[in-house]
Amino acid sequence: MRARRTPSHTLFAAPIVLIAALTALPAAAQREIRFEAAEAPASGTLVLAVPEVADGGAREGAFARIDAGSQGALTRAITAAGFSGKADSQLDLPGIAGFDRVLLVGTGSGTPDARRIEDFGGLIGRFAARSKAPQVDVLWEGAEAGAAAQLAFGAALGEYRFDRYRTTGTSEDAAGTGTLVVRSPAGTGAASAWDGDWKAVAEGVKFARDLVTEPANALGPEEFVARTREAFAGKANVSIEVLDVPAMERLGMGSLLAVGQGSVRPPRLMVVRYSGGARGEAPVAFVGKGITFDSGGISIKPSENMWRMKYDMTGAASATGALLALAGRNAKVNAVAVAALAENMPSGSATRPGDVIRTAAGKTYEVISTDAEGRMVLVDALWYVQRQDAPRVIVDIATLTGAIVTALGNDYAGLFTRDDTLAAQLERAGNAAGEPVWRMPMHPGYGKLLESPIADMRNGGGRPGSGTAAHFIGEFVDAGRPWAHLDIAGMAWRDGNELSTTPAGASAYGVRLFDRFVRDNYER
């Protein structure tokens, strides 16, 4: 049955006033990134890449020159600290060799590959975010312009922070502002590789992280749309379509509407289209779960850690951020991002366990849990993008189940697909981008666990919870269309387990994965 339209009442005005007050606060600052020749400055704050050398081995390059100019100060420091240049090791040396501070970062043995360079850059970015120095100089002796740009990409990811709601006047205000100068043999030539390629991906990641980190009182479905319009303003070959409640009602999107009907903040379906490929060529589609806050609805969650459920729109943020990256670097591909946006709240108008919902595809399901809302919004979004855009491949992305966290922890996203070729493509892209996936089974028997005595199926039930959820979503994908589902519940938010390029908090997992997936398989 079709969901009821969200009622209007006096409470609706309250969050809007608060949103206006919050969004007037300043956003987080990040350092401007520039590129210069490889000569080391004579003073200031310097980050030096140090290859691994065995005990007693001679060091060369910039390290040797700075060491000689300081009568062996660097050698004495690393000897005392036992620093050898092992990958990701760091030695912070204040007031040495004429510099205010020198940070030595190990790059390990052998020639660093792109992933190691990116991680090296991430460590630099995290250091730069903490430093109050107006300029941080990074000395990188690799000759390739692409490597210097890759380093800058890692630094841009690693320096991310979100300070919008911190009050001014603290001792931390000066930290992380100013300039980060990457000095390499490529000189200013590295700027073209950065500006034309990696900078756009970094901006896509930052955009998604900002959305995910925003508190739910500042970011509902309508604000998500507004922020997207702002981010894409001026981007070529981009169009944005937004379906409001009446439009979704006319299309019979009872499933997405059912999730949002308990909230005073109405749901939205947003479709961002980027046309950078050949005219008429079918697009690649990314469909994201966009629950701007998930209380669980009538099937309410425990209060512990419920605050984190503002992150339940990571899938939509990352899908949209990936499109921002593609548009920003003028990728030669047609692509679509769909954000299924709703707030899942308990109220007198909320969907109940036991209700039967009719989807836009015409199929019905019995609600076993209103906390299984992610799959509910995704199925109407999947129906719409197939109907309107006939994509050549669909990947949906969602913070969907706690079961996938139990299975894979914070190390992998769960990948569900029946398409071996697509699975291999996503696995390769994930490894290359530093956002790995682990393929999970889609057993034919999962469908039996979702049988309902009164509807076509149930929206949950049975174990494994992540597998049955994937099966439910897959029931709404056209036969023969390549499709994969990514369950990123364990990867969207990092607490106490930061990575070099992912500080604590929102990860924007999926932006880099999707960008690499498109680069490797679909750009012409």
Q: Which residues are catalytic?
A: 301, 375
* Among 494, 517, 254, 268, CA closest to 392: 517
CA distances in angstroms from 251 to 31, 147, 211, listed in the order given = 46, 49, 28
Task: Compute the distance between CA of residue 194 and CA of residue 200 in angstroms, rounded to an integer.
Answer: 8
**What CA–CA distances, in Å, run from 254 to 4, 250, 258, 340, 503?**
8, 10, 6, 13, 38
Residues pairing with 49 in the sheet: 105
Give the side-chain half-sphere CA count within 13 A for 383.
22
- Residue 63's SS3 state is helix
Nearest to 377 by CA among 511, 261, 238: 261
Q: 411 a known binding residue?
A: no
Provide the token pair at 485.
């589902």
d(CA 432, CA 311): 25
Q: Are residues 281 and 24 in contact, defined by beta-carbon separation less than 8 angstroms? A: no
Query: In sequence order, what are the residues at sequence separation of 6 or more whose Cβ sits closer than 8 angstroms to the Cβ of residue 390?
Result: 282
d(CA 423, CA 483): 9
In which region does residue 72 sit, left (phi positive, over 0), alpha (psi from -120 to 50) or beta (all else)? left
206 is in an annotated binding site: no
Q: Which two tokens stand for residue 470?
A: 């994937």
Q: Is 312 annotated for ligand binding?
A: yes
Percentages helix, strand, coil for the chain, rounded to the nearest 5?
A: 40, 20, 40
Which single residue is written with the structure tokens 């994969």? 484
Cα–Cα distance between 373 and 341 in angstroms, integer?
A: 11
Cα dihedral angle (68, 73, 79, 80), rounded to 10 degrees?
Answer: 170
Q: Can you list the positions of beta strands (E) in 276-353?
A: 284-294, 334-344
Give CA–CA dist 272/46, Å, rounded.
42
- Cα(202)–Cα(157) distance, rounded to whole angstroms? 6
Amino acid (1-letter code) at residue 327: A
Backbone angles phi, psi at 245, to 5 degrees: -60, -50
* CA gap 141, 138 in Å, rounded: 10
**Cβ(201)–Cβ(157) below 8 Å:** no
Q: Is 448 annotated as a binding residue?
A: no
End-to-end CA gap in the chain: 44
Tell me whether residue 520 is annotated as binding.
no
Which helix H or strand E contains 20, and what residues bound it?
helix 13-23
CB 247 within 8 A of CB 298: no
Residues 265, 334: Cα–Cα separation, whole Å = 32
Binding-site entries? 289, 294, 312, 371, 373
